[in-house]
Every structure is written in structure tokens, then in C-alpha cells.
Structure 1
Amino acid sequence: MRKTVIITGTSSGFGKLSAKKFQQEGWNVIATMRNPEKETELHLLDHVLLCQLDVADNQSIKKAIAEGIKHFGKIDVLVNNAGYVVAGVTEEIPEEDIRRQFDVNLFGALNTMKAILPHFRANKSGTIINVSSVGGKITTPFMAVYQASKFAIEGLTEAMQYELNPFNIKLKLIEPGAFNTNLGTSMSFTPTKNESDYKNILDKAMAGYAKWGEQQQNPQEVADAIFSACTDGTEQFRYPVGADAIQILAARNQMDDVEFKSMIAQTMDL
């Protein structure tokens, strides 16, 4: 019998690749996105149901889950992939942008989990995969708002294990490094003014990120890791993905706070 996964944010990037991966592996896929009418590829695949879902809209979350259950009968796995990046000088980022970041990256994932948990508890099984980031474990310049949202999803997911494991519901985190997806192009970046005290260090940091972004890591690695986390049958909780993520997390584990801050500052020429 085919298992069923519901994935948020499947219009591009990790989400679309994950939808294809699960479908190729013989799963039913509920591929959700804000504008499914614009999708030109996934709806052509067998055993794929497209649903409208905006993680900032609770009603659309509940509707998509209900449609998926009605269509396939049961959902076995939730992949919370939808998210985006707010970056810039924290002092200068508008409050509404900061709230929107948490509405999508934290509350969107939380509300999707809350909406599907009654179904998982009734089935006495389920798996939740939350796509975090290497930025949920380490910090870098001018990414404070984004990384705070990812630190939050890490803590939320880890703590919820105690509540949900007794119902045979597993939770896992995917921690990608820098990959060639549209996440960077969809970034909400607050530019600073030329007279800003921050301009010099911001320019240096952005040059550092540009070099980091030149790494041509294949985003299929992340889709494969998401599928593996669902199916490996282990208690592994965190899945760092990408050579850069593995390397920097290993360095963080070996350094104290001062050493790590110094390393990042030197990398960014700050």
C-alpha cells in the first residue's frame, strides 16, 4: 500500500525536488503551494495531488490537509519545507518584516503540525520533517532574524518529541547548508543607507556570502536527505546536509563561543 506525504512549499527548490523524489519512490504526494494554478510540472505526475496552501493562512492549511486525506485516505508524513529569508541590519529591518519572517518560518510550521496531529494521533503513527538550516545551529552576520526563526524551529521540534513520541509520532530536522535554489533570490533584504554606520561591514559580509554561495552543491542532496529521514527507521534527529554544513557544524562543536565568533568574523573579513 502506498504511503502518503504532504509537503509545503513545492513550487520550487527543495520542496519541488522532494515531491518528485517521493513520487519516484512510489509514494502518494500532496504537493502544496500558494499558487498551484501556476505549476506546470507536478500536476502531470501520477499519484500527485496539488493543493493550495499558504502557511501564513490557517484556513488554507486545514483545507489542504482535509483535501489530502479525502483524496488518499491517510497521510503518513508531513514535510514542513516552506520558508524564506529576511536579511540585513537587524536594527534597520522593519518590524512587519520581522513578524512576517516568524509567521512563515515558525508559526507556519507550528500551525501545520497542529493541524495534522489529530490525524496522526488517531492513526497512532506519523512522521514530521521540519526543514531547518545550518543557520538553526550557528550564526552569521546580518542573518539574525532568519537564524532566530530557525533556532526557534529547532527548539520547538526537539521539545515536541517528548509530547509526540508516546503516540508513535517521530520528528526530525533537516539542516541544509548553502545550496543553489531560489531561496536567495526570494530573500527579503533590507538595504542600508550609504551614510549608515553599518555600511562598511555589511558590504564586507555580503562579499563573503557571495563567495560562500559560489559553492555548487546539488539541492537534490536535500531532497534525498528528507526522503531518507522519513524511511531510514532510525532515531536520528538532525540531518546536516552539504559539505559546508557538516564542516561548519563540526567546527562549532569543537570551538568555544569566542573562537567560533572570531572564525566567522575572519571568514567575512570583519
Structure 2
Amino acid sequence: MSKVVLITGGSSGIGKSIGEFLQQKGFKVFGTSRNPENYPNSKFPIVALDVTKPETISTCIAEVLKQENRIDVLINNAGAGITGPVEEIPDEEIKRNFETNFFGPINVIKATLPTMRAQNSGLIINITSIAGYMGLPFRGVYSASKGALEIITEAFRMELKDFNIEMTNVAPGDFATNIAAGRYHAPVLEDSPYKEKYGHSLKTMDEHVDEGGDPKEMAEAIYKVIETKSPKIHYKVGAFMQKFSIVLKRVLPDKMYEKLLMNHYKL
């Protein structure tokens, strides 16, 4: 029997690549979008879901169960980027980002767990970010929201041991997707003390995405995780230097690592 996979944010970018790859491997895939009618040509079903609205989470889970009566793999992929000096990002935008990147995945997990517990099996994969391992300048809110999801996964895993439910994080680096277009960008203000450095960093961030790897690399990594009997707690997928930056953070003194980041971002 084919495993049933639910991918939040499965209509474009990394989520779409994962869904199409898994479908080719014989999985029964469902993706989600706030506006599924915008994707009539999707290669797998797209179910309505807005992770910031709990009522749509319940409806989405019910729809998948109605069709397949089980959910074997949940991939929490829906997320949002945000950039800007922390001082200048409006509070409502910070809260909105955490609603999407942190509280949203938690609520989808909560809605899925009763089904997986009844099955006595399940795998939950949280798509985080290499940026979640470090506080990046002008990406601090994004780093914090993804880092929070990384950490809470560690606690969740231990709480779920009795129910034969696995949970893991997969942290991507930069991939060539449309994520930059969907980010909230705090405006570069003319009278801002951060104007010059933030403006330069914004350009650099967009270039990194444009020059990023093929999202199929993430799809292949997710497939390997699903096929692994006992997944690790953390996975990183991306260019060597992006993954190596996490190793450097562990071994270098804090201020030396901070200096490396500042040099990288030309601050």
C-alpha cells in the first residue's frame, strides 16, 4: 500500500519539487495552498490550507483522511521569509512570521498526531533552514522562527517515542525558488541608520537565492529520510560552505564566528 504524504505549501518551490518526486516514487501525495484553485495543473491534489488559520488545518486533515483514511508522512514545508533590521520590522510582521513558520507547523502537527497515534506509526518532517542555526544580520526574525522549530522538534521527538511516531528536521540552504518574491521586506528607509548596509545585504540575499541549487536536491534528501528506518534528529541540505558554517559555529569562539559573518555580509 502506498504511503500517504501531506506536504504543506506544496504548490510551488521546494514543496512542489518534493511532491512531484515522491509521487514518481509511488507515494500518494497531497499538497496544500491557501488558494488551490490557482493550481489546476498540479501533478498531485492540492488541498486548501492556511497554516495561520486553525479551522483550515482541521478541514485539510479531514479531507485527506476522507480520501485515504491515513496519513503516513507529514512534511511541514509552508513558510515565509522576512528581512529587515529587527528594530525597524513592525511587531505585527514579526508575529505574522512566527505564526507561519513556528505556530503554524505546531498546529498542523497537533492536528495530525491523533491519526498517527491511532495508526501506531508516522513520520513528521519539519523543513527549517540553515539560517535557523545562527542569527543572521537583517534576517534575525527568520533565523529565530526557524531556530525555534528546530529546537521544539527535539522536545517533540522524546514525547512521541511511546507512539512509534518519528520526527525530524531538514534544514535547506539556498535553493533557486520564488521564496524571495514572497518575503516580507522591511523597506529601506531614506532616513534609516541601517540604509546602506541593509540595502546591500538585501541585494546579496536575493543573489544567493537566484544562484541556489536545484530544489530536486531537497526532494531526493526528503525521500532518503522517509526511507530511513530511524531518521536522525537534524539534517542539512545545501552547498558545502552553507553546511560547514554550522560546524564552524560549534567550534569557533562566538566573537570570531560573528566576525566571519560580518565579513561575509560586508558589515
Equivalent pair of 2:175/2:210 in contact (CA under 8 Å)? no
**CA 1:213–1:73 in 2, change beyond 3 Å: closer, same or farther?**
closer
Q: Number of aligned pairs?
A: 266
Shift of 1:165: 1.7
Runs of at least 5 residues in structure 2 that lack an aligned partner in the other structure:
none
Aligned: 1:219 with 2:215: yes
Equivalent pair of 1:7/1:29 in contact (CA under 8 Å)? yes
Structure 2 match to 1:38: 38
Equivalent pair of 1:19/1:31 in contact (CA under 8 Å)? yes
RMSD between superposed Cα atoms in Å: 1.4
Equivalent pair of 1:132/1:176 in contact (CA under 8 Å)? yes
**CA 1:73–1:214 in 2, change beyond 3 Å: closer, same or farther?**
closer
1:65 to 61, 67, 71: 61
Aligned counterparts of 1:254 and 1:78: Cα–Cα separation in 2? 33
Aligned counterparts of 2:24 and 2:207: Cα–Cα separation in 1? 34
Equivalent pair of 2:177/2:210 in contact (CA under 8 Å)? no
2:78 to 79, 82, 85: 82
Aligned counterparts of 1:204 and 1:98: Cα–Cα separation in 2? 22
Aligned counterparts of 1:149 and 1:239: Cα–Cα separation in 2? 17
Shift of 1:248: 1.6
Shift of 1:195: 1.6
Greater than 6 Å deviation, 4+ residue runs = none
Query: Residue type matched to 1:201 in 2?
Result: K
Equivalent pair of 1:92/1:192 in contact (CA under 8 Å)? no
Query: Residue type matched to 1:97 in 2?
Result: E
* Percent identity over paired residues: 37
Aligned: 1:3 with 2:7: no
Structure 1 match to 2:21: 21
Query: Residue type matched to 2:256 in 1?
Result: E
CA offsets, 1:6-54, max 9 Å, x none? 1100110011111111111101111111111110322xx4xx4321111
Give TM-score, length-normalised by structure 2: 0.95
Equivalent pair of 1:207/1:268 in contact (CA under 8 Å)? no
Aligned counterparts of 1:30 and 1:182: Cα–Cα separation in 2? 21
Query: Residue type matched to 1:87 in 2?
Result: T
Aligned counterparts of 2:249 and 2:229: Cα–Cα separation in 1? 28
Aligned: 1:95 with 2:95: no
1:198 to 194, 199, 202: 194
2:243 to 214, 238, 246: 246
SS at 1:235 equivalent = coil
SS at 1:261 equivalent = helix
